[in-house]
């Protein structure tokens, strides 16, 4: 488990033997390499939950650039930052739901590196923010 906040409450994962926490700034240039080191030679699946604004495309880029990551999924939550502004303009112009436009935009970002990426909506997630962008990377 990675986050840039080392002070966050991790009591919900401490009892899980297969979950560890490591601080990671995904906006650093070293993020893909740090993530690879954390995988310790194992294949990894990266899951980005509640990735706000510019965090969503950055998590996708880190996943694409990290050799240890074999597959990934990102669940975006909001429309902050530049991507959000673009999505708002497109949503208005197309008469579409803002969150759907954001999800489509993230799928487009993901498909640059992983052409077979998918976008699904999980209505049983219990939130209207239920888009899931997934991809399995092709072997290099």
Q: Print the domain residue range for 65.
A: 2-136
Give the confidence band of 140 by pLDDT, cuts at 50, 70, 90.
low
pLDDT at 28: 92
| Alpha carbon distance 52, 91 (integer Å) | 18
pTM of the model: 0.81
Average pLDDT, stretch 6-32? 84
SS3 call for 120? strand
- DSSP assignment of 15-84 equals T-TT---EE--TTSTTHHHHHHHHHTTS-EEEEEEEE-TTHHHHHHHHHHH-TTEEEEEEEE----HHHH
| Alpha carbon distance 73, 132 (integer Å) | 6
- With tokens 């436009």, the residue in question is 101
How many domains does the chain divide into?
Answer: 1
Q: Tell me the pLDDT of the chain averaged across its residues.
A: 87
Compute the half-sphere exposure of residue 107: CA atoms within 13 Å on the CB side of its CA: 15
Instruction: Give the pLDDT confidence of 35-85 residue by residue, as tens digits.
Output: 999 888 888 888 888 888 788 888 888 998 999 999 999 988 877 777 788
Residue 11 above 90 pLDDT?
no
């Amino acid at each position: 488990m990675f986050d840039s906040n080392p002070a966050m409450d991790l009591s919900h994962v401490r009892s899980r033997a297969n979950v560890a926490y490591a601080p990671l700034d995904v906006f650093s240039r070293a993020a893909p390499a740090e993530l690879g080191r954390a995988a310790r030679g194992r294949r990894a699946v990266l899951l980005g939950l509640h990735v706000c604004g510019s965090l969503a495309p950055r998590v996708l880029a880190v996943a694409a650039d990290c050799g240890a990551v074999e597959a990934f999924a990102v669940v975006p939550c909001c429309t902050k930052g530049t991507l959000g502004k673009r999505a708002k303009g497109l949503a208005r112009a197309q008469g579409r739901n803002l969150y759907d436009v954001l999800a489509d935009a993230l799928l487009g970002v993901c498909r640059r590196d992983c052409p077979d990426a998918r976008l699904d909506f999980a209505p049983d997630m219990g939130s209207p923010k239920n888009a899931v962008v997934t991809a399995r990377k092709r072997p290099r």
